[in-house]
Amino acid sequence: MVSDNKDTIVAQATPPGRGGVGIIRVSGPLASKIAETITGKKLKPRFADYLAFKNQNQEIVDYGIAIFFKSPHSFTGEDVVELQGHGGPMVMDAIMQACLFAGARVARPGEFSQQAFLNNKLDLSQAEAIADLINASTQAAANSALHSLQGEFSKKINQLLQQMIHLRMYVESALDFPEEEIDFLADDQITQQLDNIKNELKNIFQTAKQGRLLNEGMTLLILGKPNAGKSSLLNALSETDSAIVTDIAGTTRDILRESIQIDGMPLHIVDTAGLRDATDAVEQEGVRRALLQAEKADHIILLIDEQDQVERTLQELESRLPANNQYTVVLNKCDLVNKTPSELQINNHQAIRLSAHTGQGLAILKNHLKKIMGFQEGAESQFMARRRHLDALQRSSECVQRGEQQLKVNQAGELLAEELRLAQESLGEITGEFHNDDLLGKIFSEFCIGK
């Protein structure tokens, strides 16, 4: 795929504001001509020139370094020029205006990366990794994004695609040439290859799930009755005093959020109003918002004061949860009942005993949270992933399983071939082999301008 875009685009590649150096990036067929107009010199590819930058009135607006990257040896695959000047807003704006006057237009968010994708300089997952690397909030996330940018994720997907293509060719050739008497329905090779594909999909999905955690983190909601210690637990996990803690029931009435890291895994903690039949209108709204958050959370902590009737309280809290919510029971204030922090079972459900006030048992909770989300500390060769990648892998896996069923139960080779085609298309969405303009627009619109 090669871009047929004839526009020349320009944007500031460095963050807006004041700095020692600011960079204006130009990409497109007019890049070299625009650079010559501004600098008064025909630039030699990959050679840094220190020159005066002039506006459309031939007035000097800055002195800086100009570098020309000749197509296809550039980030976008087009002619690219970088004008490196002093990083003041007025200077950057003056150079931008000179580029616009010379024939460029302002780039849309992510348009440089989009052109790189369209010109086969990188695939879609690598392009997304650029944004993930820029936005990484932890070192582990940055390392994973870098692995994706280097093509590790794409390599695994492409290897799996080759397996699917090979199997499709075998099945479809048997269907097209029945006179060859290839009894592929009874061929163990088919079953073995399907098993290999299913196992590889499962392995990639687990690794991608880990990468998605590093990218987006987990949203953890704390629910419980008033005075159970929800705000104390939020403060203890975040190691701040962001939530007000008092002995007055119903102190927290709105949604409080804190973001932390557990061994490099981002965790977004949400504290809520205590769940009870409130009569106060403000508190009622707080309870409504708490239950609304329950529908959005990745996981829920049902926090119970161990001085209360634990089983009865648990039943009351469970009755308020939306269907299919994943939750962990946490018994708080173990220090007040002289019990040791530990993991235990309550009504056949895993629970953790701790004290948010003293911090006892917090390490047990943190390890539990990492475990339930499949987080593997220090895992090597991880790559960054997004929700759309997990969705594509899941759809591909379902297609393969349906195709296997059609073969085994109905001996329908044609339907197996069709399911393999659909599985291949789902995987191709990850790298951009199969895509639509709406998908590209959504992905690249999330990038910053100038990238």
Which sequence spans correspond to the domains of the chain? 9-123, 133-213+385-432, 218-297+299-372
The pLDDT value given to residue 18: 87
- Find out whether 234 and 221 touch, Cβ atoms under 8 Å: no
Residue 86, C-beta contacts closer than 8 angstroms, at least 6 positions apart = 20, 21, 22, 62, 64
CATH fold of 9-123, please? Gyrase A; domain 2 (3.30.1360)
What is the distance, to the nearest Å, from the Cα of residue 65 to the centroid of all Cα atoms in its chain? 36
The pLDDT value given to residue 43: 95
For the domain covering 133-213+385-432, report its CATH number.
1.20.120.430
C-alpha–C-alpha distance, residues 248 and 252, integer Å: 10
C-alpha–C-alpha distance, residues 299 and 265, integer Å: 15
Identify the CA nearest to 294 among candidates 327, 267, 262. Answer: 327
The pLDDT value given to residue 178: 57
Same fold, 9-123 and 218-297+299-372: no
C-alpha–C-alpha distance, residues 10 and 82, integer Å: 10
The pLDDT value given to residue 229: 84
Instruction: Locate 286 and state its tokens.
Output: 């707080």
Q: List, in sequence order, every residue forming a beta bridge with 265; answer none if it has no partner.
A: 262
Single-letter amino acid, residue 69: F
Q: What is the mean pLDDT of each run of 10 residues along the chain (451 residues)?
A: 74 89 96 95 95 94 96 94 94 95 92 90 84 74 79 89 87 66 62 90 85 78 84 81 46 64 79 67 68 79 84 81 79 90 85 90 89 63 78 92 85 84 90 66 66 63
Choose which CATH entry (2.130.10.30, 3.40.50.740, 3.40.50.2300, 3.40.50.300) describes domain 218-297+299-372: 3.40.50.300
The pLDDT value given to residue 228: 84
Inter-helix orientation angle 89-101/31-39, to 10° = 120
Q: How many CB atoms lie within 10 A of CB 16?
A: 13
The pLDDT value given to residue 246: 42
Paired sense of beta strands 80-87 and 60-69, if any:
antiparallel
The pLDDT value given to residue 449: 67
The pLDDT value given to residue 184: 57
3-state secondary structure the chain: CCCCCCCCEEEECCCCCCEEEEEEEEECCCHHHHHHHHHCCCCCECCCEEEEEECCCCCEEEEEEEEEECCCCCCCCCCEEEEEEEECHHHHHHHHHHHHHCCCEECCCCHHHHHHHHCCCCCHHHHHHHHHHHHCCCHHHHHHHHHHHCCHHHHHHHHHHHHHHHHHHHHHHHHHCHHHCCCHHHCHHHHHHHHHHHHHHHHHHHHHHHHHHHHHCEEEEEEECCCCCHHHHHHHHHCCCCCCCCCCCCCCCCCEEEEEEECCEEEEEEECCCCCCCCCHHHHHHHHHHHHHHCCCCEEEEEEECCCCHHHHHHHHHHHCCCCCCEEEEEECHHHCCCCCEEEEECCEEEEECCCCCCCCHHHHHHHHHHHCCCCCCCCCCCCCCHHHHHHHHHHHHHHHHHHHHHHHHCCHHHHHHHHHHHHHHHHHHHCCCCCHHHHHHHHHCCCCCC
The pLDDT value given to residue 81: 97
Paired sense of beta strands 265-271 and 299-305, if any:
unpaired
C-alpha–C-alpha distance, residues 153 and 390, integer Å: 12
The pLDDT value given to residue 381: 47
Q: List, in sequence order, every residue forming a beta bridge with 351; answer none if it has no partner.
A: 329, 344
The pLDDT value given to residue 89: 92
Q: How far apart are the first and last CA of the chain?
A: 20
pTM for the model stands at 0.65
Please report, for residues 56, 283, 299, 332, 381, the alpha-carbon distance to residue 269 in angstroms, rounded to integers and kept in the order given: 53, 20, 10, 17, 28
